[in-house]
Amino acid sequence: MSANPPNSTPTVEDVAREAGVSTATVSRALNRPDSVRPALRDQVLAAVERLGYVAHAGARALSLRRSGTVGVIVPTIDNAIFARGMQAFQHRMAASSHLVLLAFSDYDAAQEDAQAQALLARGVDALAFTGLSQRPALLLRLAQRGLPWVHTGAFPAPAGTACVGFRNRAAMVRVVTYLLDLGHRRIAMLAGITADNDRAAERVAGLREALAEAGVGLPAAAVVEAPYNLQAAREAMRALLAAPSPPTAVVCGNDVLAWGALLECQAQGVDVPGAMSIVGFDDLELSRHLRPALTTVHVPTEHMWTLAADYLLGRLDGQVGVPMQKEIDIELVVRGSTAPPPGRRRSARG
């Protein structure tokens, strides 16, 4: 067998000569291995290994009418909740020999639309989105192409679309009801920016619903929106603490906001949970190691994104039918950052 010249890039013809087979056999062995006898497939793969051949993705896509890639768009990986989800999604896709192309929206619908267009231009076979805030024109374009997609982190999705997620509003109702049962009546919220973020908006709606049901007022200044970072969270918490009648409990749109709220309370000498209860959302690993440990909503992120990957793989394998809408269970995890308000504790002791 002849060796390739130094620094040359091996071609499929080189692999065929090295293995003593036709180029068509090489193509079948690499793209449809089940169609080739095991011994012959091993012969081709050994030649590939010796030559260091790498199949051209574009040629493979033309041959199979598939790129073997799946696009996924998340707001950011600055928050560990998305990093954990992407790791689980990629593991599941890699197990089925699919490559994941990752893009970020930065919680901006226009940016999400642009990133989706870029992924489509690169020939992705399917898309996974975060939440339900995508522009209708984008989803119409996907439907016209017959491209499978799935929404994550929210439930339910519009009829005829697939999602794996949970009811954000109901989750926040559960949180606020817990605080009301502890005796809190001055409850505020440190929310994420609700524009272009259906999950953040639904969590704020859950706060309003639970308080209205209990007949508890909610001053306009008691809901503060902030970006999901520690500095912004601390500044927002500072504003809540400076109110004429500060809250005794603050619910937060995610754990990062809750961390910032806790840090600001500690900086100002406000005892948590003695004078202030704080609740997060997501149950990131650090939350259980804080002092006090954070009461929060546990979201099974890895499970959610694995189910999303399974759905897309099923669609790519030809499974049809009504798009899956899968609701996953979330859990309120009570830890040391919440307690009855000071007045309620004194009354109980009396």
CA 115 to chain centre: 16
The confidence score (pLDDT) of residue 9 equals 76
Q: CA quadruple 165, 169, 172, 177: dihedral positive or negative?
A: negative
Whether residue 110 contacts residue 116, with contact meaning beta carbons closer than 8 Å, is answered with no
CB atoms within 10 A of CB 269: 7
Report the C-alpha gap between 165 and 89 in whole angstroms.
14
10 Å CB burial of residue 140 (0-12, 13-18, 19+) is: exposed
Architecture, CATH, for domain 68-166+300-328: 3-Layer(aba) Sandwich (3.40)
Question: Helix (H, G, I), strand (E, B), or coil: what is residue 105?
Answer: coil
Nearest C-alpha neighbor of 152 from the set 124, 130, 180, 121? 130
Contacts of 198 (CB under 8 A, 6+ apart): 131, 132, 133, 154, 168
Task: Write out the chain's pLDDT in tens, 350 residues.
Answer: 455 554 467 888 888 898 888 888 887 887 777 778 888 888 888 888 888 776 655 445 444 455 799 999 999 988 899 999 999 999 999 999 999 999 999 999 999 999 999 999 999 999 999 999 999 999 999 999 899 999 999 999 999 899 999 999 999 999 999 999 999 999 999 999 999 999 999 999 999 999 999 999 999 999 999 999 999 999 999 999 999 999 999 999 999 999 999 999 999 999 999 999 999 999 999 999 999 999 999 999 999 999 999 999 999 998 877 789 999 999 999 999 999 999 765 444 44
Whether residue 348 contacts residue 185, with contact meaning beta carbons closer than 8 Å, is answered with no
In the chain, list all ranges with CATH 3.40.50.2300: 68-166+300-328, 168-298+333-343
The class (CATH top level) of 12-63 is mainly alpha
Largest CA distance in the chain: 93
Report the C-alpha gap between 248 and 229 in whole angstroms.
22
Pick the CATH number of 168-298+333-343 from 3.40.50.2300, 3.30.70.20, 3.40.190.10, 3.60.20.10: 3.40.50.2300
| Secondary structure (DSSP) of 267-302 | HTT--TTTT-EEE-SB--GGGGTSSSPPBEEE--HH
In the chain, list all ranges with CATH 1.10.260.40: 12-63
Residue 101, beta-bridge partner list = 71
